[in-house]
Structure 1
Amino acid sequence: MPLCLIVGCPNSLKSTRALEIKEFFEKEKKKTVYIISENDIIKKSEIEKNNVYQESAKEKLIRAELKSNSMRLLNKNDLIIMDGLNYIKGYRYEIYCATKASRAAQCTIHCVVTKEKGWKFNEKRDKNEAYAREIYDALWLRFEEPISTNRWDSPLFAVTDEDKLNMQEIYETLYERKPPVANQSTQNPPTMDTNFLFELDKLTQDIVTDIVSARKIGNIGAIKVKNSTETVNIPSEVNASQLNRMRRQYLSYSKLHIHTAGDLTKAPTLFVQYLNSVLSE
């Protein structure tokens, strides 16, 4: 059930690399390969490309469809390639959790290009495919670079526009290594009734409030969270708005992975594990 996550700034040859990987795996390894393309989803949505990245609500819908289309295709042997910017660390973590819960192998391909060269590539694109300058610059500022020490970005293959991918190593990573074992933080949070999401929203908000309050009275280092078996470690530079953004990302992930049985007793620990995972480097 392997998945290959393509990551990169605008015009870093992401789709070119996706096609190269597809050709290698189909011809050399006789695998069935599916490319799920962010650009294709945008075209089908009939939303102008620059408008997608200008309005967060529209971009969120595109990301959600990219993820759901990819996860739906996961199976035992076929290779799924997610071709898109995939620039948000929390979003990549969600993908990691989903593939890990499915016992699927995964790798990240980071397509690297200089900002200047990327803009030159952009100027050669068809008008309907090109980024406006302000959107291009904004996406570069938003980009959260994958790091090999982050388990959700690893194994990581970085490739410049002048490099060749090591296809055999990618194949061995996806098909010959054992996939990661699912743990509590990547398993789907259970639900006891239809009020689960409401209760989870309130519970996670209370945890964030407690963390912020602890900070205000001078508590530093590990913070004990009520009803959790673990402590949360929040770097001093992380503020309340950033914590709430992570909370919303966790709720979005939970909304897509609700089981029909269970309770909220493990939710505080799962949320703490999520925060620690996203914030760890």
Structure 2
Amino acid sequence: MAAVDDDTDLAYDVVVVGAGAGGLAAAVAAAHHGARVLVLEAADVCGGATAWSGGWLWAPRTLLAHEAGVDESAEDVTAYLRAALGADFDEERIAAFLDGAPEMVEFFHTRTTLQFVPGSRINDIYGDLPHAGTGNRSAAPRPLNARRLSRRTRRLLRGQLYETSFLGMGIMAGPDLGAFLAAARGSLRGIWHCFWRVGLHLIDLVTHRRGLQLVNGTALVGRLLQSAEDAGVDIRVNTPATALERDTDGRVVGVAATSPDGPLHVTARHGVVL
């Protein structure tokens, strides 16, 4: 991420409010299209609720599914969503989602640091409904060793939620979790995996005071932060947006915010993403 100055009046092409997965993804996409981007985050770290989540996304018909030999029709997925959503089904929005989701996954997977692993064995939640999937409709961020991140990016990354981890160590759904469950049943391979994972985590705690083997939501945010840094996105933490600024025609032209140094006014030449 590029350094930012201390001026109280700034100008960017795009201003993004919030540094969760949605905000960071929007910032990275805008920067890849040539925009100068600023992200404003109210907290002292980035990630929001995303960093404490499983980090999975439901995105059918992606290149990951195609590489696994699964090529579904949009009609099958639409039929499942129609059954799952009932009265909330919106055909136009669902069609837009099914068109856009594969493009989104391909963009991040092939052009940024955010790579995914396929949920080849992750069934759809409503498995009893018509056309429910039995795998390859979900994807998760590829685990990330935080040593690959710059020091500033590591400082910006929200840590794993302690209450849903082992001493702050996340466990990824899939083979990682399967190995821990196998260890509980006495599997020697599972026990070795657990010793390896926990041992690395304890070393990280001693040397860096936090776990560096990122999985789930922390891996998603970590990879997005690295992608943002690669794309030249500016990020300001401890800087909550307080109001949208408009011109005389009512068009949003910027954001008012409060930084640690005082009030801040940011002009957004092309738009504000909330």
Q: Same fold (TM over 0.5)?
A: no
Report which of the two has the higher share of strand: 2
Bigger-Rg structure (1/2): 2
Report which of the two has the higher share of helix: 1
